[in-house]
Amino acid sequence: MSVSKRVQSSEAGGIGETIRIVIHALLIALVIRTFLFQPFSIPSGSMKSTLMIGDYLFVSKYSYGYSKYSFPFGIGPFDGRIMAGDPKRGDVAVFKLPKDNSTDYIKRVIGLPGETIQVKSGIVHINGEPVTRERVGDYTEDDGRGGDVTVPRYRETLPNGKTYTVLDLVDNGYGDNTPEYVVPEGHYFMMGDNRDNSTDSRFLNMVGYVPYENFVGRAEVIFLSLEEGSSFWQFWKWPYSIRWGRLFSGVE
C-alpha cells in the first residue's frame, strides 16, 4: 500500500472514530436528559426571590416518574406515568402548561388532589385553614431606571412543615382574593412565589389545575446564575455577570 493510501485510510479511520465518539456522547446526553436531569433556565420573575431571572437549574426527572412529557418534544411512547412518585406539597416543579402541553412552567405545589384552595387578603387557605405567614423584611432590587423597588417579603410554612419565602406587594391585588378552588383528582394546584406577578393555577383560563401527567420534574439545584440581561453565550463576561453566591445552591 502506498504512503498516500495509508494516510487516506488513517484519516478516514480518524473521522469515523470521531463520528462514533460524537454519537455516543449525544446518546449519553439524551439518556441523562430524559431519565435523570434536565437543565432549565428562568425567563421570568414569577418565582422571585426563590428563583431569579437568569438562574439555570437542574430538574430531576426521576422524582415523579416518567410520562410522555419526560421525552423531548413530548413524544413518549405511552400515556400516564410509570415509576411514579407523587409531587409533595411545597415542591418547586416544572410542568407542561395544560393549555398547550408544550410550554414549560415552573411553580410551587400548593394544593394536592381533592383539596380546597382559596386566597383571602393574600393568605393562602388549604381546606379552610390559613397557611402560616410571617413578615421577614423586604426584598429590594434595581427597578431598571437607576432606582430601587422594595417589596414586602413573607415566610410561609405549609401544613407539612415545608417553609419558603414569598413576595407580596399588596394584599388586595389581582389574585389576592379568589373564589374557592376544588382540586380535581389527578391534578395539582400550583402557585408562584412572587404572588402579585405570577400566572398560575389561580387563573383557570390561563393555567388552572395541572394534571399529574404534565409534570416534568422537580427543581433541585442552581448550577449557574447570570445577572438579568446577560446572555449565556457571552462567556467572556461571566466573571462580572455571574451571581457567585447563587451557584450550586439548592432550590427550597
Identify whether the C-beta of residue 64 lies closer than 8 Å to the C-beta of residue 217. yes
Q: Which of 93, 111, 134 is nearest to 202 (CA)?
A: 111
Given the residues 63, 96, 107, 225, select the one marked as catalytic: 107
Q: Which of 127, 114, 105, 58 is nearest to 86 (CA)?
A: 114
Q: Is 107 a catalytic residue?
A: yes
Q: How many CA atoms lie within 13 A of 126 on its CB side?
A: 21
Over the Cα atoms of the chain, what is R_g? 22
Query: Can you tell me the distance from the alpha carbon of 46 to that of 81, in angstroms, rounded to the nearest whole number?
Result: 28
Query: Can you tell me the distance from the alpha carbon of 220 to that of 222, in angstroms, rounded to the nearest whole number?
Result: 7
Query: Can you tell me the distance from the alpha carbon of 60 to that of 212, in angstroms, rounded to the nearest whole number?
Result: 16
Given the residues 46, 63, 201, 225, select the one marked as catalytic: 46
Q: Is 96 a catalytic residue?
A: no
Query: Can you tell me the distance from the alpha carbon of 53 to that of 43, in angstroms, rounded to the nearest whole number?
Result: 5
Point out the residues that are catalytic. Answer: 46, 107
